[in-house]
Chains A and B, each alone.
Chain A
Amino acid sequence: MIRPAVDDVALNAYVDGELPPSQAAAIAQKAARDPELAARIARLHRLKAALAGIAEREPVARPRRRRRALRWTSALALAGCLALAVGAAALMRPAAPAPPAEVALHDAWAESGAREMAEAPVWLTSVIEATGLSLARVAPVRSHDGPPGVHYAFVGTNECRLSLFEMPAAAGTDSLLTLLVQGNLRSARWQAGGNGYLVIARNMDGARFATIVAALKEATISRTAPEAERIALLQAARQRCLT
């Protein structure tokens, strides 16, 4: 068998642009004189291009396989799994900014530090308490052009403040979760059961926010208190606030 003018390892490195300039130039000169060598180079380029083409796809937003996630045994894994839905969605689609009116309501409440006797559905309080927050206030929210909604305000042990707005969903509202970071403001939106949900917090750690939002989203869909095991894992997965 005749030994090729350039061995395959060098030729592949040439196609990958990994040879020093002098060696690359030498191969280029040989290829100019040797059609067979030029054909080998062309084949490798095609192969490389074909491979690059097989994976040129965008990540697809789809619900995670919930059952599988629940089988996980570590609290960290659960925290991550919950955070995932938010994180992945945030990476996959552009998010609309949080509405200024709701941000203003959140900021006004957070600044006032108001805490009052408040009640919320068990499915909501059980989840939110498991994440280390407690219900501080429930207030109606009136919009100028639609039916009223509810503002649930929650406080964490390190004075984290988080608002959940539940409003009748507008037509065409996206059911997928979107998340946005604007400076120190984090917001998340989704739709479930005919309602639109908006969560707002400032100065909150991203993973913690994602964990809470993912837990809230699941709760708004299932409308049931989570299983004891899930609550325990959520409690174990708490992360600190930045404030």
Chain B
Amino acid sequence: MFDDRHHETLQSLRRRLFGYACALSRTTEDAEDLYQDALVRAMAARSVPNDARAFRVWMFRLIRNLWIDRLRREHRRGELIDAEAEPEEQPGPGDEETLVDVLLVRQAFLRLSKDHRDVLALVDIAGFSYDETADLLETPRGTVMSRISRARAALAAQLRAAPVIPFPRQTERRR
């Protein structure tokens, strides 16, 4: 049963949980729904992990499972890029100049495959270790490592393809 201790842990997790929901969702409203649905499930659950680490993984897994359910429901898998598609090439020098606009990064992130968004959201946004991510995804650590690498390469490729308007600071540096 969800108790006060869980409530306190949830307080400390809320930013990361919501950030994770934002990363997985295409709109803020969807993220809020996802986040709130996860709270609902957590509070209504008959069995809630008592261990803090297990509870943390459990909460993120709730969000992830809800997200996957939603994707299935909405038949959106077809809109996503092939999960394991390799980018054509690794990012070259100067590509970091494109990493200046949060909106661009977010748009590029949302164009990634479900698996790539999934693993990047867990490691870079939710802050999970590889071991925790492997546990959460129920996949070997080696798979997490290779998936992270491919996902970041895919993100860099998306950013290269995006129209970029560098911030002035970046423009100055280019001169």
Contacts and interface: CB of A to CB of B under 8 A. Distances in A.
A18 B129 contact: yes
A34 B32 CA distance: 45
Contacts of B164: none
B124 interface: yes
B155 A64 contact: no
A43 B95 contact: yes
B33 A44 contact: no
A46 B98 CA distance: 10
Interface in B133-165: 145-146, 148-149, 152-153, 155-156
A13 B32 contact: no
A48 B28 contact: no
Given A54-B105, A91-B10, A64 B93 contact: no
A55 B24 CA distance: 10
Interface stretch (A105-113, A120-128, A203-211, A226-234): A203-211
A55 B93 contact: no
B171 interface: no
A79 B22 CA distance: 25
Interface of B is mostly: helix
A55 B125 CA distance: 7
A55 B153 CA distance: 20
B102 A207 contact: no
Contacts, number: 131
A43 B152 CA distance: 10
Nearest to A186: B4
Given A59-B14, A207-B1, A46 B90 contact: no
A59 B18 contact: yes
B156 A55 contact: no
Given A51-B105, A83-B40, A91-B10, A43 B148 contact: no
A11 B146 CA distance: 11
B3 A55 contact: no
Contacts of A101: none
A181 B4 CA distance: 8
A80 B18 contact: no
Contacts of A46: 96, 99
Contacts of B52: none
A65 B33 contact: yes
A43 B123 contact: no
A116 interface: no
Given A60-B28, A90-B7, A92-B14, 14 more contacts: A12-B148, A42-B96, A51-B109, A56-B15, A57-B15, A59-B35, A81-B40, A87-B39, A88-B35, A91-B14, A181-B7, A206-B43, A207-B2, A210-B43
